[in-house]
Structure 1
Amino acid sequence: MAIHFHEGDLPGDPFAPGPIAVDTETMGLNPHRDRLCLVQISDGGGDEHLVRLSGDYSAPNLKRVLADPARLKLYHFARFDLAVIRQYLGVVAAPVYCTKTASRLIRTYTDRHGLKDLVRELLGAEISKQQQSSDWGAAVLSDAQKDYAASDVRFLHRMMPILNERLAREGRTELAQACFDFLPHRADLDLQGWPEIDIFAHV
């Protein structure tokens, strides 16, 4: 198990076949204003790859992996990651599986759907969120920042079958898939000016 740090792009495609877990770190929560600084990817085999981006978003290898329609992308809160990847890298990083969306559909007994809470309940593991609000645009990222970033993709593969089992148990598998399929469009709505407006609402 290792964390691999890359400047500007991936070194080809270092991942095994199958789903990849994806996360991003940015300078804030507004994709139009706050630049994309880091993309984290894992194939679930124990290694995490961190790609630091600082102005040059060409990254052809990274884009190829993210845009591959044959490779499922696992996210926790896909809506934001899809939007910021589309804004800065210009690709739709789909098809999508979102652990937060799945959690909201089946863990209706709680309002705690953050990654830390989900990992604790489903896997019995603890992750630190201490570096969540740190400066991701710094010239040098600390080891603590790198470990935090890697932890955001470290557990998604292990949680997916547990969430899928519960979705099936509650009869919500098809509903979840419809939500996952819509998420790239929800991200587009965010980017095009409807971040907080429910366009399906009566008023």
Structure 2
Amino acid sequence: MTIHLHANDLPDGLTLGPIVAIDTETMGLDPRRDRLCVVQLSDGKGDAHLVQIARGQTSAPNLERLLTDPAVLKLFHFGRFDVAALQKAFGVRTAPVWCTKIASKLIRTYTDRHGLKYLLAEYVGVDVSKAQQTSDWGSATLTEAQKEYAASDVLYLHKLKDALEAILLREGRMDLAQRCFDFLPARAELDLLGWDEPNDLFHH
């Protein structure tokens, strides 16, 4: 595994293939309030690219091109949050998307454990540490532990997608999942506009 650290944007000319795993680290859990600090990406081949986003930064042209490229599938776990954080930071609509958490909830109805740690253990055989999840991602210098944690959130998503997609197809829920994925950017935008819990449009 190689972790590449970039300041402010992806480097010119970098291509990550037709499916790119993406995750974000922020200063908190409210994308309207808590700024984006790190965007991590992987092509699923063993390398991770970490982009540190400066406080007040509103543009990352290479990253934005990837996020909005209709030919590149953006792969997330709990994409609802990440898509909202990216839209708040850069004003772009990330699409098309695929979310492993949505897939898990559609097929793993035998459990309420849909966190990435549980899914990677069950389907990929990887035990990842979540110790750095609540650390200070706004720091100018990331620790080695932070870098490894950020990378682990994207390095295995391609394998996880393959496993979950096979079960979605087996159970006849792939079409429903796809419609959920297609709606995800709109769901994230609703969150940014204040229609999240308890004002969710779909809540009673």
Q: Same fold (TM over 0.5)?
A: yes
**Residue of structure 2 equivalent to 1:49:** 49
Map 1:98-137 to 2 at 5 A: 98-137=99-138
In structure 1, how many angstroms separate the alpha carbons of the residues matched to 2:122 and 2:60?
36
In structure 1, how many angstroms separate the alpha carbons of the residues matched to 2:24 and 2:121?
21
Q: How big is the shift at 1:191?
A: 0.5
**Residue of structure 2 equivalent to 1:187:** 188
Q: Counterpart amino acid of 1:143?
A: E
**Residue of structure 2 equivalent to 1:199:** 201
Q: Is the 8 A contact 2:27 2:138 kept in 1?
A: yes
Which is further off, 12-21 or 141-150? 12-21
What per-residue deviation string (whole Å, max 9, x for no partner) do you get for residues 109-167 of structure 1? Answer: 11000000000000111000000000001121100000000100011001111111100
In structure 1, how many angstroms separate the alpha carbons of the residues matched to 2:159 and 2:111?
21
Q: Is the 8 A contact 1:6 1:52 kept in 2?
A: yes
Structure 2 alignment gaps of length 5 or more: none
Q: Does 1:160 align with 2:125?
A: no
Q: How big is the shift at 1:198?
A: 3.3
Q: How big is the shift at 1:14?
A: 1.8
Identity %: 60
Q: Is the 8 A contact 2:16 2:42 kept in 1?
A: no
Map 1:167-182 to 2 at 5 A: 167-182=168-183
Q: Counterpart amino acid of 1:3?
A: I
**Residue of structure 2 equivalent to 1:142:** 143
Q: Is the 8 A contact 1:13 1:65 kept in 2?
A: no
What stretches of structure 1 move > 6 A for 4+ residues in a row? none
Q: How big is the shift at 1:13?
A: 4.0
**Residue of structure 2 equivalent to 1:29:** 29
Residue aligned with 1:40, SS:
strand
In structure 2, how many angstroms separate the alpha carbons of the residues matched to 1:35 and 1:17?
28
How many residues are paired up?
202
Residue aligned with 1:198, SS:
coil
**Residue of structure 2 equivalent to 1:70:** 71
RMSD: 1.0
In structure 1, how many angstroms separate the alpha carbons of the residues matched to 2:168 and 2:129?
27
Q: Counterpart amino acid of 1:199?
A: L
Q: Counterpart amino acid of 2:47?
A: D
Residue aligned with 2:34, SS:
coil
Q: How big is the shift at 1:199?
A: 1.6
In structure 1, how many angstroms separate the alpha carbons of the residues matched to 2:158 and 2:13?
18
In structure 2, how many angstroms separate the alpha carbons of the residues matched to 1:62 and 1:161?
25
